[in-house]
Amino acid sequence: MKKVRITVMRQTVYQDLIDEYENPIQDPCGMKEGQVFTANGWEKPEGMCDSAWESMSAFVMTLAYGGEDIYNGWMKNKRSAMISCNDGFRPVSFLIEALDEDAK
């Protein structure tokens, strides 16, 4: 099983949707651009947002177990995927990449 690197690439904030539809929340998304996590298969990395993990865990597992070309030529690197979390107010885009080293 391979380790998988998860990099926060971008976060978009739709302030107009937040203002119109979201109740005020104390702690919105804590992901920061450039933040890097390493997943060992099915284990959610420490500090990873639960909702984001739910959006990407199947892709992480596929790459961890050697899967490639998840969307038939979609990615330049066949051992990677670009995934967004399911937050409709402030979605975050993550690059997930299988690493050459095996998880221990």
What pLDDT, in 10s, does the model give residues 30-50?
A: 899 999 999 998 789 999 999
70: Cβ contacts below 8 Å, ≥ 6 apart: 59, 62, 63, 81
- The count of domains in the chain is 1
Question: Would you place residue 103 in the very low, low, confident or very high pLDDT band (cuts 50, 70, 90)?
Answer: low
The length of the chain, given as a count of residues: 104
CA distances from 23 to 13, 17, 85, 91 (A): 15, 11, 19, 17
Q: What is the pLDDT of residues 71-96, one digit of tens each?
A: 888 899 999 999 999 999 999 999 99
pLDDT of residue 18: 94
Contact 36, 5 (CB under 8 A): yes
State the residue range of the domain holding 91.
2-102
Does 101 score more than 80 pLDDT? no
Cα 2 to Cα 49, 51, 57, distances in angstroms: 21, 23, 14
pLDDT at 102 over 80: no
